[in-house]
Every structure is written in structure tokens, then in C-alpha cells.
């Protein structure tokens, strides 16, 4: 289900740095986070998303998340951007 949301989203920010920036700028509508990501990295995103009251959806694979976003590398997180 979450992979479908990412695939259908009109605007995404892919990767840890871009996701953090989207959260800081209050642009993120929802965060999709890979469950197999390094906890030290994902914790930063989780804390910021909770602070900003942005929902987080977990998916099982960084590799599949990256592929769903159309990139050839793994993705820890994706921010679905509000319109």
C-alpha cells in the first residue's frame, strides 16, 4: 500500500537529507520510512516528524523504496510533499 502511495504521489523528496529539509520547511504531508534503515539515521527523521505532527508510514525495504521512486539506489526515507 505505501509503495503505491509513493508511486502515485505527484511530488516527492527522496533521501534522508531531502526528507529532513521538507520536514523543517513544513512541506511534508507524509513520510515513508524503510524499516530496514539504520536506526541512528531513521531516528532523526522520526523525531522531527513527530515534532511536526507528520504521519510516518513504514515499508519493509530500502531497495524497493528506492526502486519505487525511480532511482537505482536504496532510499531510507521519502517525503510526500503537500500541494
Domains of the chain: 2-81 (3.30.1330.30)
Strand order in the sheet with 12-14: 12-14, 77-81, 28-34, 56-59
Query: What digits encode the pLDDT tens for the residues 13-30?
Result: 999 999 999 999 999 999
DSSP string covering 4-23, please?
Answer: HHHHH-S-EEESHHHHHHHH
Q: What is the pLDDT of residue 5?
A: 87
pTM (two decimals): 0.92
Residue 3 has pLDDT above 90, yes or no: no
Query: What digits encode the pLDDT tens for the residues 32-69?
Result: 999 999 999 999 999 999 999 999 999 999 999 999 99
Amino acid at each position: 500500500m505505501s509503495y503505491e502511495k509513493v508511486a502515485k504521489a505527484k511530488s516527492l523528496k527522496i533521501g534522508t537529507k531531502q526528507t529532513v529539509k521538507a520536514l523543517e520547511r513544513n512541506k511534508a504531508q507524509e513520510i515513508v520510512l524503510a524499516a530496514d534503515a539504520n536506526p541512528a539515521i531513521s531516528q532523526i527523521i522520526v523525531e522531527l516528524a513527530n515534532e511536526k505532527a507528520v504521519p510516518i508510514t513504514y515499508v519493509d525495504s530500502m531497495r524497493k523504496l528506492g526502486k519505487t521512486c525511480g532511482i537505482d539506489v536504496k532510499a531510507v526515507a521519502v517525503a510526500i510533499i503537500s500541494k
